[in-house]
C-alpha cells in the first residue's frame, strides 16, 4: 500500500500516511 501511495504522490498521501502513523502509535 505504501508503494501505491508513493507512486500516486497526491496531496492525500500526507493525510493518509499521518492517519496510518497515528493508528500505529495508538496501538
Which residue intervals of the chain are DSSP H helices? Answer: 2-8, 12-26
What is the predicted pLDDT for the residue at 18? 72
For 1-27, write each residue's pLDDT tens digit: 667 656 666 666 667 767 766 666 666
Q: Is 6 helix (H, G, I), strand (E, B) or coil?
A: helix
Provide the b/e sequence for 5-19 (b: ≥16 CB within 10 Å): eeeeeeeeeeeeeee
Task: Map out the domains of the chain as residue ranges.
Answer: 1-26
Write down the pTM of the prediction: 0.24
What is the predicted pLDDT for the residue at 27? 65
Amino acid at each position: 500500500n505504501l508503494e501505491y501511495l508513493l507512486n500516486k504522490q497526491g496531496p492525500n498521501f500526507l493525510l493518509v500516511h499521518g492517519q496510518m502513523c497515528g493508528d500505529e502509535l495508538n496501538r
